[in-house]
Amino acid sequence: MAGEGLTSFSQLASLAAKYMNVRSLLITIVVAFLSIGVMDFLIHGILLKETYAATASLWRPELEMKAKMPFMLLGQFLFAVAFTLIFAASVAEKRSLSCSMKYAAMIGLLYIANNCMMYSVALYPGSLVLKWCLASFVQVMVLGFVVHKVYKVSAR
C-alpha cells in the first residue's frame, strides 16, 4: 500500500520530467516569485500606502504584520508555483505570447472575482477594492509576460 503512493509520485515526477523542462521550470518559479515580491512592494508598499494609512483600522498593527510576513511569502511562493506549473503544463508549448497573455488574463479574472467576493463580506472601501482589482490584473499580466519569456519548453 505504501509503495503504491510512492510509485504514483515517481510516475508523476517521471511524466513531469518528460513533458516539462524541470530546470527551466524551477528557474521560472524563482523569477516569478521575485517578480511577485517586487510588484507587491510597488503596489502595496508605495502606490497604496496612503490608502492603507487612511484605512488603518482595517489592518493588523505593523509589528503583527511583520511577524506574519512568512505567511505572505509562503502565499506569494505558492502562487508563483501554481501560476508557473499551470503555464508549463498547458500554455508553454504553444510558445505564443497571445496565448500566454490570455492565460494571464484568466488568472486576473480569478483575482478580480475573489476581490469582489471579499468586498461583499468585509468592510473594505469600494475604492480600495477597485484599486486591488486593477493592480492585481496588471500584476498577473506582467507575470504572464515574464513567465512566457523565462520558461523554455524542453526539446523532446
Per-residue pLDDT tens over the stretch 49-86: 999 999 999 999 999 999 999 999 999 999 999 999 99
Residue 115 confidence (pLDDT) above 50: yes
The average pLDDT across 104-124 equals: 97
Q: What is the structure's pLDDT at 13? A: 64
Instruction: State the Cα–Cα distance between residues 144 and 97, nearest whole angstrom.
Output: 9
Q: Which three cell numbers stand for residue 50?
A: 496612503
Burial 31-46 (b: 16+ CB within 10 A, else e): bbbebbeebbeebeee
The average pLDDT across 1-18 equals: 60
Identify which has the larger pLDDT, 5 or 142.
142
Residue 17 confidence (pLDDT) above 70: no
Q: What is the structure's pLDDT at 1? A: 46
Average pLDDT over the chain reads: 91
Residue 15 confidence (pLDDT) above 70: no
Cα end-to-end span (Å), the chain: 33
Q: What is the structure's pLDDT at 88? A: 93
Closest CA to 32 of 100, 132, 112: 100
Instruction: State the Cα–Cα distance between residues 6 and 10, nearest whole angstrom.
Output: 6
Residue 155 confidence (pLDDT) above 70: no
Strand (E) or helix (H) holding 137 = helix 126-150
The average pLDDT across 119-147 equals: 97
Q: Which residue has the cell 510588484?
A: 39
Per-residue pLDDT band at 19 (split at 50, 70, 90): confident
Cβ neighbours around 97 below 10 Å, total? 12
Q: What is the structure's pLDDT at 145? A: 98
